[in-house]
Chains A and B, each alone.
Chain A
């Protein structure tokens, strides 16, 4: 997985199109892509593994969107969206499996949760994310959502040094617990890293921060995926205008 900054390099022959994944078959495709990415790269223990799928109880309640490479017909990116109404029906948001969300009830306005985003290897660049986000922006607009929340992961297979170093950067610039405070159910194991060491953000996290998202607390340790999950909140009114164009008509 590349850790270089997100650049808007476009391969000319590649044609990517965003789409909503409606119905059983497209959902299977999304679950298969998630399985490929998560099991191969994160070595994660997944429900549905015997079918070559990554599936859970949230899937039927979410809207799934994706990016397709038109030249091959393959689905190359996917994410799923759970809105406050569906979450109310389920009794919880997906993030609440990892975090206690203090202040969630006081957050005004419709809320959309994004999760289980993955991009196929070979497509991990700004172009793919921009296409995915253009679709996300439409969903946000249509539903008049004021907030987007979710988690972004930092790999932990190095024992946690990178995660700590990334956190030292995030805490400096992007921490805001005013509206919402996310308390991790499993905090990271403590690690002695000098306070003056910070690390470059992983691509997706960096993209969120550029949009103006905030982190709402310390990360949650996910030993199955060997990652640290950081809870993020994006207020639509506060989208950073410079990067919002990636988000198309979101503002």
Chain B
């Protein structure tokens, strides 16, 4: 029975991915023909695709708080690649990802086609990335970043990189802090986190082979960035997320 469920889930996921590839290819072709910026359309299609993908994952998602009504810089803690479809299915969003993802088979190409911005760590292109983020926000498009820079097992929160939030300050864009928590039988889920040396396929098989678990998405009160320094904005976002995840304020970043 469990085997059958696994195969059904895999089949469904593959079908969704194939559909995504078709869509991405189609948008790419249109762009080459039109030479127009199709970002709004890309964001909408991406949301639609991520909704299909989120539905194919064995989660029950429970939303807390209110979705923002205007474009924002979304700032979330990061546990797994599944954060992306689960958050991205809610509103049209673009993403910032580490450069390695670009080389992942299929997923990398899909992310690229969805308009994801890629960042190389320590390659000194943070100025370039900031400008890209800024341009995005100035065009009033929502953007999601994971300022921890990497995933955790959901039991802690790393220090946020305040540089990534500089674009919000400069664009005077509000920040939507998000706390995402994976729970299995009421405890922190040990299967959902995608960390360290995990590879995508084995993680996926492990996930699809297990029982449906719960994901809580907490949309915390919006932070206005007006008049704040990026470190202060970062501190507030981190404090809010930490307080929601752990009920306490974790160690706050020193001025970065």
Contact = CB atoms under 8 A, between A and B. Distances in A.
A199 B69 contact: no
A200 B64 contact: yes
B89 A197 contact: yes
A165 B65 contact: no
Interface stretch (A44-52, A105-113, A176-184, A188-196): A188-196
Interface stretch (B51-59, B103-111, B117-125, B153-161): B51-59
Interface size band for A: 10 to 19
A199 B60 CA distance: 11
A125 interface: no
Contacts of A165: 63
Contacts of B81: none
Contacts of A193: 51, 89
Interface string B62-103: 111111110000000000000000000111000000000000
Interface in A152-193: 155, 157-159, 161-162, 165, 192-193
B61 interface: yes
Given A157-B69, A158-B69, A159-B91, A196 B63 contact: no
A198 B60 contact: yes
Chain B interface mostly: mixed
A159 B142 CA distance: 14
A245 interface: no
A200 B51 contact: no
B147 to A, nearest CB: 23
Contact of A199 (B51, B52, B54, B64): B64
B62 A198 contact: yes
B89 A194 contact: yes
Contacts, number: 55
A162 B54 CA distance: 16
A192 B47 CA distance: 9
A3 interface: yes
Contacts of B65: 3, 200
B66 A194 contact: no
A162 B91 contact: no
A194 B67 contact: no
Nearest to B50: A194
Contacts of A158: 66-69, 91
Given A159-B91, A161-B90, A161-B91, A196 B68 contact: no
A103 to B, nearest CB: 32
Contact of B66 (A162, A195, A196, A198): A162
Nearest to A197: B61
B63 A197 contact: yes
A197 B64 CA distance: 11
A194 B69 contact: no
Contacts of A162: 63, 66-67
A55 B63 CA distance: 35
A198 B61 contact: yes
Nearest to A226: B69
Give the interface centre of B57, B59, B63, B68 by most chain A CB atoms within 10 Å. B63
Nearest to A191: B51
A194 B64 contact: no
27 contacts: A1-B66, A3-B66, A157-B69, A158-B66, A158-B67, A158-B69, A158-B91, A159-B67, A161-B90, A162-B63, A162-B66, A165-B63, A192-B48, A193-B51, A194-B52, A194-B54, A194-B55, A195-B55, A196-B55, A196-B59, A197-B61, A197-B89, A198-B60, A198-B62, A199-B64, A200-B63, A200-B64
Interface of A: 1, 3, 155, 157-159, 161-162, 165, 192-200
- 3 smallest CB-CB distances across A and B, nearest first, come from A194-B55, A158-B67, A199-B63
Interface of B: 47-48, 51-52, 54-55, 57, 59-69, 89-91
